[in-house]
Chains A and B, each alone.
Chain A
């Protein structure tokens, strides 16, 4: 009996264990079951053109073009063969050439082709037949979004939520016969799910289904866009630093990821980037519209123009930051919507550097509204006044928020130069189009190498950079950390365009945390580097404009929350009377709306007391950024005191330990006191303090 009971007991325990152990899988299975249900629903609705993908939790609807077929070939030869044999022969398909320029048939880096149905309808059978070809990676009907033609590749990217294992993704992918791939530039916990071409569910549908499982932070189809040019600037296609398509027969993708960033912002004209250099060509056709008044720190006068024949460096740097975009000429700057402030402080007349001129330039930029200061130069020796000027710009610029200061790390293939190594600036090194630190032995085979080391923060494209040259001309292949730094300065300007409340350290942190880490290096964590893993060769990695804006958004939200994270209310009863049933409510107006800033019942301990509370606004939709004024502040103070005389007095103050303006207070059961307080400006501090004093007359 004992044995049987023991067996039953142990079996129960085992079954219980198995049940518990299997629960997570069951959960996955349950979620997958739900997903399967969704599949059935989606299949039904697909006939109603209910095709969409998710973007920040919102559905982005796409239309299918029944008349256009998109094809991606395995190689260029197959594509060419198909073009010459199939399309030009008897075929139900013809080349899609709406503008008669043949560009959809011209050579494609990704071996793409768009064909148009002669009959006007691309049938399911035709799509299936094309996908059965061995030389086809994927084929589908073309898509349209807001009038722009797109096509989905055979994959989509997912980012696993924290706490979800890779195994879960594997299990889910396997269910739909998908493979998983991780790509160098894709970021931490981001994977590509590759959809088999004969799958009944295309990549767009599957990406939505995956998102709806709740297992992923995002799920994003990989699209090709055709008639949407991110820039119509003539040399944009050569700007590998902005969009690396493999222009030099290299691995594509190693760029600053600017195009999705431009979907958020191309820069605000309220944001000014100072170019501290040898001047800028003020009349350059690709710069003039973005330039504001500058300064000549050498001659201490209005200007900023390049003066001497050799003064071309500043014009090149300025172009990377803010060349006019979509004017069909030249290049596109990283932050083309921002303004450029030319400050000439380097003298090419005798190739010299004067501390006084540099300091004058920095101070002028700071005092005249520069938000970002780009310095693609080094100082010859460490200098207290120069360090002090930089520090002042970092802490006092932008009306106290601080300027973001970007320095080139240097080209000597050694440790980071001064002043780039200062903690108050961002030191930027240069990478090649393969995403590697530029070394002397790397192509282009010239003599220089990007400085590196423990003080290097970020890297950015710095070889074969097309940019503006004086007299409305262009460089096609400039190199150096001088050209890397302005990429970062431009991204900093984009961040401030969206989130001007961010401090220089926060801008720096946003870029560091979101940087792309080339897999050729090993990254380590260190308590000295709070923004994550880094490597001395590339710092935190390649600046990622879109990623930086995403992280900046999170920091911005935290700034708002920190600005009004709570009110500490202190009530001090300096009388000999017992006051109880206290409640305090504080109201204010922020951005035109009345907000409850504080509402709590409070207790006094003997001899006085306080209680910490939180503002009710957290449940509301209203936020206030630092610098916002809270007006119409009114206090409602409820208390009862059965034995209090009528002549007690009360005073209140916000963020002031010394109360003023004591007023008489009349007591009775449930008496209350209402007081208006002066307007207050939301500080960067995380909490506000309200003091209420009650005293005898």
Chain B
């Protein structure tokens, strides 16, 4: 093999790596103490809108970057229309962090993150995760921990008794999933659980 061949091979390899959109198994969350691994889809961007936005306002956000377009999934366009709280934007290639940052800085969104995949199911984390305190953990400890990351602690109506909800501002760079793991690893909680939105047909009818 000549040097030329090696060089071509190396270029092709680098090109392939550069095109890599799917990052395998570096991200996880905890369930029953076990790590549940997620694949990150860096070619897909999830936007969770603020409450109360009109479809027009959401469309304006969605169209902020001409390189991205709304994801079409199972015959539906996931662009926030029809009262939906979220949109998913796709590019034919990896979406650079600068683009992600741009959307983070646009008003009207509560969460902006790459999408994930679990066993082939596309998913995204919202801006919340739940925590169940251990018997020895005080609420003050939770609040203190949350405050360090700029998060709010609350109990929402839908949360079961004894469970608190941590709201993660979109400025927290590590994102909801990683933060939920960090909280779990402090040992203060029975469990922590990110709030996901998954896409697919979850019915069992044909």
Contacts and interface: CB of A to CB of B under 8 A. Distances in A.
Given A380-B121, A380-B123, A385-B130, 8 more contacts: A313-B205, A350-B84, A351-B199, A381-B119, A385-B160, A385-B195, A388-B191, A411-B204
B76 A350 contact: yes
Most buried by B among A352, A410, A446, A479: A352
A535 B195 CA distance: 36
A122 interface: no
Most buried by B among A316, A388, A485: A388
Interface in A334-349: 346-347, 349
Contacts of B128: 356
A270 interface: no
Contacts, number: 135
Given A359-B158, A360-B158, A353 B198 contact: yes
B78 interface: yes
A349 B83 contact: yes
Given A347-B84, A381-B36, A356 B202 contact: no
B193 interface: yes
Given A354-B197, A383-B193, A363 B203 contact: no
Contacts of B86: 350
Given A351-B73, A352-B198, A381-B121, A446 B206 contact: yes
Contacts of B73: 350-351
A24 interface: no
Given A349-B84, A359-B160, A479 B205 contact: yes
Interface string B73-91: 1101010001110100000
Contacts of B74: 351
Nearest to B184: A384
A115 to B, nearest CB: 46
Nearest to A366: B160
Given A354-B196, A383-B196, A377 B76 contact: no
Interface residues of A, number: 50
30 contacts: A297-B158, A313-B203, A349-B76, A350-B73, A350-B76, A350-B84, A350-B199, A351-B73, A351-B201, A353-B200, A353-B202, A354-B198, A356-B128, A376-B204, A377-B203, A379-B198, A380-B198, A381-B31, A381-B121, A381-B196, A384-B31, A384-B32, A384-B192, A384-B193, A385-B159, A389-B160, A411-B205, A478-B206, A482-B203, A482-B204
Interface string A468-483: 0000000000111111
Contact of A448 (B199, B200, B206): B206
Contacts of A417: 204
A384 B184 CA distance: 12
A478 B204 CA distance: 11
Contacts of B32: 382, 384
Contact of A384 (B126, B191, B199): B191
Contacts of A411: 204-206
Contact of B158 (A352, A356, A381): A356
Contacts of B76: 349-351
A378 B31 contact: no
B36 A382 contact: yes
A538 interface: no
A413 B126 CA distance: 31
A557 interface: no
